[in-house]
Amino acid sequence: MSLSGVLDIKWFASATITFSAEGRTLLFDPFLPWNKAVESFDMAQLAAADDILITHGHFDHLIDVPRVIADGKALVYCSPEAAASLHREGVAKDRIKIVNPGDTFTLGPFHVRVLKGKHIVFDRKLLLKTFISPRMFIYPRNMYRMLRETPKYPAGQVLVYELMVKDKKILHFGSLNADNTENYPIGVDIMTLPFQGRSDINRYALEFVQNFKPEMLYLHHFDDTFPPISSTVATADFKEAAGKLSQSMRVFVPVHGEVLAI
């Protein structure tokens, strides 16, 4: 049951977020961090979700789904490409619902519309900074694991989810990019913002946000969950700049395990 009677949002790590209302919990992109420094959480918390929705098929959004659903009852809603990855990993077809842009469906109090998205394009400066970093030698096991797993998990069609629950509209992104052929809603109550993937992330994210004019931004994916490729991204400067962009727009930067009651 939602603490506020409308909606609870909880960020676990990376892009792993739950939206809960009226006893129904939607879990997005479950991923267990590969970094012991990131606060851990119990698998049972993820397995308790009623539904699992996937934004795209990269390993940090999909690799732990088989473990999560093995301990729970949820169905997985994802693109055909992500479904193929899950089938390969032994997930039964009756646990997967393939969805495509334009689809609509209802999950308890949540009315869901699937939209086209795109994955963020990593810039050269970020790539160079990442791959010449001493951290590459600090986390050799992670690097080996990523080299092994990444080719097995193509992004496929990136999905953006519009959620309606009571009088609240949420626009959920799993990667910070948009498809210019899609008709996204403007001025939603909450827009989630994955804050990772560019060396110029502050400027890039500000320009991105200007197109959507949400009432509130909910940041995620800014933590260091799979070093050495990921990193902890500072959010203070962006939060200040976004506040100047629109005095009416609230920017919420969660901590691991924190529940935001709307």
178-232 pLDDT tens trace = 999 999 999 999 999 999 999 999 999 999 999 999 999 999 999 999 999 999 9
Looking at residue 6, its pLDDT comes to 86
In this structure, whether the domain defined by 8-261 belongs to CATH 3.40.50.300 is answered with no
**Whether residue 15 has pLDDT greater than 80:** yes
- Backbone φ/ψ region at 106: left (φ over 0), alpha (ψ -120 to 50), beta: beta
Contact, 68 vs 96, CB < 8 A? no
Q: What is the pLDDT of residues 24-34, one digit of tens each?
A: 999 999 999 99
Q: What is the pLDDT of residues 47-85, one digit of tens each?
A: 999 999 999 999 999 999 999 999 899 999 999 999 999
Contact, 169 vs 163, CB < 8 A? yes
How does residue 248 score in pLDDT terms, banded at 50, 70 and 90?
Answer: confident
pTM of the model: 0.95
Report in angstroms the alpha-carbon separations of 41 from 24, 38, 217: 20, 10, 24
Question: What does residue 21 show for φ and ψ, rounded to 5 degrees?
Answer: -155, 140
